[in-house]
Structures are given as C-alpha cells and as structure tokens.
Amino acid sequence: MKSYASDAGRGPAVNVLIALVLLAFMTLAAASSRAHEGHDHGAPAVIVTAAAPRLEASSESFELVGIVHGGAMRVFLDRFASNEPVTSATIDVTVDGVTARAEPQPDGSFLVEAPWLARTGPVDVVFAIDTGEAGDLLIGTLDLPSAATAAEAAHVSAISVLLRSPVLWAIGLGLLLVGLGLGRALTPRSQPAEVIDREATAPVAQAAPEPNPKLKRRVGAAVLLLLSATAAFPGPARAHGDEDHGPAGQPPAMVASPAAGADSPRRLSDGSLFVPKPTQRLLTIRTQQVRTGEASRTAAISGRVIANPSAGGRVQAAQGGRIEPPDAGLPAIGQRVLRGQVLATVTPVITTLERGGVREQLAQIDSSIGLAEQRVTRLSQLQGSVPQREIEEARRELDGLRQRRRALGPSLAEREVVRASASGVISVANVVTGQLIEGGEVLFEIVDPAKLWVEAIAYDPAAIVDIRSAVATTADGETLPLELIGRSLTLRQQAVPVLFRITRPSPTLTVGTPVSVILQEARTETGIALPAASIVSTISGEDVVFEHVSAERFLPRPVRYRPLDGERVVVQAGVDAGTRIVIDSADLLGQIR
C-alpha cells in the first residue's frame, strides 16, 4: 500500500532542500562570474581588494613609490613639494649589499628586476637617486607576501563578492520563492477515506514498484531551474569563451599590464582617497606646500560689461523713410567699420497728400518768382527815375524766392545718408533692405572691443573708499584686470554705481556679460593664498581642499575662504602651514568614490 501521508510530509522538505541547493549554486556561479578578472562587463560593483605589495619613501626633495607586480618592481619618483614626476634620473636599488640599476621606462617610471623580489616577508630597500642637479638617499621597507597569503586574499575577495552584492541575494531569494511555490504545486493532495480503504483491500501486485510520478515531475522541475541558472550565470570559461586570453596555454594573469597589480582609486573608510601613482600621473595632480602670509582684504560686488560711450555709439536716422543699402551692402553683425563710413541711405516716403502739398507750394513759389522777375525788369528800365533802394529790394526778393524753390524741389526725392558715428564693430543691426523706419529709430550699435568698461553696483559705500586694485571674473573663470574710473555721487536703487576700465580685454568678451568685481583694499590680514582651482565643492555643498598626506593618500579638508584676485583665494581656516595641498586636478579627485 502507498503511504500518501508520508509522501506528502516529505514534499515540503524536499522543496526546501531543492531551493537551498539552487540558492547556493546561483550565488557561487554569480560570484565566480564576477570574480573573473581582465574583462569589461559593463559597470559591476567595485570590489576593494588588498593593494599590491608596495613601499613608500620620501625626503624634503623627493617622494618615491615602488609597486611589485609580475616578479618586478616599478618605481615612481616625484618632487616632494609639487608632486611633479621625475623621469630623468639614475636610481640604484640596494638590498643586502647587492645593487641593481632601475631602468627608465617610456611611461616615466623605472623598472627594477632582482632575485630578492621572489622572497617573502619584509625587505629593507635603499634607493640612491641622482638627477644631475641633486642627489638623495631614500630607505623603505617592502613587505612581500607569500603564496598562501595571496590565496587567502583571493578567498577573502570571493567572500566579499557574496557579502557586498545585493543583486545575488535578491536573485537567490527569488529562486527560493520559486522553488517553494513549485514544490507546493507539485505536492500530492490528500486522498478521500473511501479511496484509501479500497486500495488497502485490493490485492498487492508482485510487480516492481514504479516511481512516484509527482516526484519525477518535481525532480524534472528542479533540473530545469538548475539549467536555467547555469545559462543565466555562466562561469568564467563559458562567459569568455570567444575572447582572447593571450597565447595558448598561458593563463590570463601572465598577460596583464604592468600596472595591473596596483589598486584602482577609491575612497577609504576614513573618508580619505587612495590614488595610486600611475593614476596620479594620468590625472596630472600637482601640489603646493602652503605658507601663511599677509594678503589684502577684499570685497566682492556685482557688475556687468558695458561699451565705452566715447569709443562706440548708436547710429540713428533723423527722418523716417525706406532703408536702401549702399554699393557695398548693409553691414552685418561683427563687421568692423570706420568713423564716417556710409552704412545705409534713407529715402523719404511721401504720401499722396504730402506730395500734393509740396507741389502746391512749388507752384506758388514759381508764380511768385515770375512776378518778382517782371517787377525787377520794370524797375530796372525805370532806373534813375525810381529809387535804387526799390530796385535792390526787388532783386533780393527774387533771390529769396529762387532759394526757396531750390530748397523745396529736392524734398520729393532727396535721400539721407546714414554714416558710422565711431570706429568699431557692428554689435546690433536692426535694419534690412526696404524696411520702413521712423525718425530717431536706432539702426546700428557700434562697439570697440578693445575699449570696454565694467559698471558695478556697491551696496556698501565703505568698500569703495580705499581701493588698491580690482579684477573682474566671469562665470567661466576668466579674469579681467580693471582700472578705476570713478564712482557716482547719486544712488541708484540704494547702491553706488562704480565704473572701471578693462585694461586687458578678452577677445571673447561681450557687452552685457555679468561679472563679479573683486576689490582689494589697502588693509591686510593673515591667511594662506591658494589657487582658486584647489577649492572643490562636495555633494553636500561643503568647500574642501585635498591634503597630500602620503605618497598615495589624499585627505579632504573643509575650509573657509574668500576670493583674493580672481585667480587665487585666501584660506582663513581649515589648513595648516607646511601641508601639501592639491592645486591642479582637485576637481578630478572630488569625483572618486
């Protein structure tokens, strides 16, 4: 007799066992797939492993880092104060009285190959450096790990993959739920009592017992899930079967790059940054040993670039009419013109009524001229009998009428010539051929780019009382030296307008550009001057600088600062004198996570 109760009791246990086996298999398969090195699989989670064996040594002149990989050691030599690479030097490496010469490499490093690199444990290394201009002796200790230590580090790395990947745990949990649901669906249902009694009274066949079909379906479903998991998470061999792994029979580790043993840049648990020397060379990181000194007090006010009113101007028409181009055509924006150059002509537009009025006046004048001529002729014949004064008055009246006729006649077709009011560049052009304009309308604006001014607004009059110097900075960081012209004695929106002349204009500067004007006062204060590029804003909005605390470690320092001259700032708190601060590529360090 079949025991349905026992079979039903074993169902959930088998389901749980199958799901746990699948969970373990999926986790190990994904871990092995992610742990396979040397290939790009998109953007996997960054797994921080132990650094390659390395040593650091420094003096007041040099800073040295040695990184061991592939049975050789690469030496990176930099200037201590500036972090500038030293690529031309003679480096002799001595261990236990045996000296080896470090060979220069195309990437600026030095390669050392010696038998003692195959040892294990700490090794004291002496570096004799000679650059031709200076020499130094550096001593460092290199801790070479054993093969067992390397294997243990790889094992810890594989475990860290499992512990740090939430995706793997989510997939495993999903498979566990799928296995439980599938097992529940395949679990045989309880039979009615009369069916069980009939089976108990039936004769027992002597044939071989057949497997439970429910169990077969359950096992088949488990095998199907197992195959799906294998296909979804292939191992290293399947995932990279078509890729080039170097020469036949050679493992991938043997063809890795020389710097593959060095760690990638990362942020450490204490908030500092670990940046290997090869990465520092790539990012062109430079530092400066800061010192405390006297700096001028500064104040910042807002302003904008304006045109010099005496070196540019507006071109307007005195009367309305239709725009007609000159022989060279209408000038375009950006075209340079000279003072007095013809820019356009304005042809008067006269209505029918106005034209009739002008013709009526001409007819009256012509009639008056005819009468005046007759009078002059008659008086001239009576000369001697009439006073000479009357003859002269008649002649003057005739001349006046003729002048009125000459002045009024061309008004029907006379054109106004529009000329450039100053030499410079056309900044605004508001006309096209055939356009009708009104009298006094602005047709062109001319600006001389070599003679631009800055108009600033000072809400604190005390800030502009004793100005030592001034600079303007644009939004893209361009610095413009300024010369004070004067300040207004009339408030504008409760502020004092101040005018400056740009002494070294930029070819990309345009009128209307907003700028920040930094005023340096005669008073001084104590602080640390740094380039403005050394200040980096974090995600939280905090301003920091990066201190170079060791050869491959940088520590962010929150600071309080104020602008000094557009290119430099004065750090008032957060940095101590004598520390090395990053002055170039600090923004790239701020992007390391």
Q: Is residue 324 part of a domain?
A: no
Answer yes or no: do 511 and 380 share one domain.
Answer: no
Burial label for 162, CB within 10 Å (0-12, 13-18, 19+), is: middle
Question: Which among 240, 257, 274 is the end of a domain?
Answer: 257
- Single pTM value for the model: 0.58
Q: Phi and psi dihedrals of 422, rounded to 5?
A: -160, 165
Q: Is residue 342 part of a domain?
A: no
Q: Distance (Å, rounded) from C-alpha 584 to C-alpha 210? A: 79
Q: Each residue of 440-476: pLDDT tens digit?
A: 899 999 999 999 999 999 998 887 888 888 999 998 8
Question: Which among 103, 124, 144 is the end of a domain?
Answer: 144
Q: Is residue 263 part of a domain?
A: no
Domains of the chain: total: 4
The answer, yes or no, to whether residue 188 has pLDDT greater than 70, is no
Residue bearing tokens 């921080």:
48
**302 or 191, which is more confident:** 302
The answer, yes or no, to whether residue 67 has pLDDT greater than 90, is yes
pLDDT value of residue 447: 93
pLDDT band at 212; cut points 50, 70, 90: low
In contact, 281 and 85? CB cutoff 8 Å: yes
pLDDT band at 572; cut points 50, 70, 90: confident
Answer yes or no: do 15 and 77 share one domain.
Answer: no
pLDDT value of residue 48: 39
- Report the CATH number that the domain containing residue 90 is assigned in CATH: 2.60.40
Percent over 70 (pLDDT), the chain: 71
Q: Is 407 helix (H, G, I), strand (E, B) or coil?
A: helix
pLDDT value of residue 153: 52
Q: Is residue 580 part of a domain?
A: yes
Answer yes or no: do 69 and 38 share one domain.
Answer: no
The answer, yes or no, to whether residue 522 has pLDDT greater than 90, is no
Q: Is 374 helix (H, G, I), strand (E, B) or coil?
A: helix
Q: Provide CB contacts within 8 A for 293, sequence distance 6+.
A: 526, 527, 528, 529
Q: Is residue 343 part of a domain?
A: no
**3 or 439, which is more confident:** 439
pLDDT value of residue 99: 92
Q: Is residue 273 part of a domain?
A: no
In contact, 40 and 238? CB cutoff 8 Å: no
Q: Provide CB contacts within 8 A for 580, sequence distance 6+.
A: 80, 81, 83, 287, 288, 289, 290, 547, 548
In contact, 546 and 273? CB cutoff 8 Å: yes
Q: Is residue 90 part of a domain?
A: yes
Question: Looking at 64-78, 149-163, 349-363, which range is the least confident one?
Answer: 149-163
Q: Is residue 545 part of a domain?
A: yes
Answer yes or no: do 563 and 476 share one domain.
Answer: yes
Answer yes or no: do 111 and 180 share one domain.
Answer: no
Answer yes or no: do 462 and 496 share one domain.
Answer: yes
Answer yes or no: do 459 and 575 share one domain.
Answer: yes
Q: Distance (Å, rounded) from C-alpha 495 to C-alpha 459? A: 4
Percent over 90 (pLDDT), the chain: 37
pLDDT band at 254; cut points 50, 70, 90: very low
Q: Provide CB contacts within 8 A for 28, sequence distance 6+.
A: none
Question: Which among 110, 144, 178 is the end of a domain?
Answer: 144
The answer, yes or no, to whether residue 148 has pLDDT greater than 80, is no
Answer yes or no: do 495 and 574 share one domain.
Answer: yes
Other CB atoms within 10 Å distance of the CB of residue 386: 14
Residue bearing tokens 């005018």:
499
H-type alpha helices, 43-165? 147-164
pLDDT value of residue 2: 43
pLDDT value of residue 26: 53
Answer yes or no: do 164 and 84 share one domain.
Answer: no
Answer yes or no: do 468 and 535 share one domain.
Answer: yes
pLDDT band at 169; cut points 50, 70, 90: low
The DSSP line for 463-486 is GGTSEEEEEEE-TT--EEEEEEEE
Answer yes or no: do 483 and 566 share one domain.
Answer: yes
Domain assignment of residue 69, given as a range: 54-144
**159 or 324, which is more confident:** 324
pLDDT value of residue 412: 60
pLDDT band at 224; cut points 50, 70, 90: very low
pLDDT value of residue 408: 75
- Report the CATH number that the domain containing residue 463 is assigned in CATH: 2.40.30.170
pLDDT value of residue 249: 37
Query: Which of 51-55, 83-87, 369-373, 436-440 ranks highest by mean pLDDT?
Result: 83-87
155: region left, alpha or beta (phi > 0 left; psi from -120 to 50 alpha): alpha
pLDDT value of residue 579: 94
Answer yes or no: do 39 and 68 share one domain.
Answer: no
| Mean pLDDT, the chain, whole residue set | 78
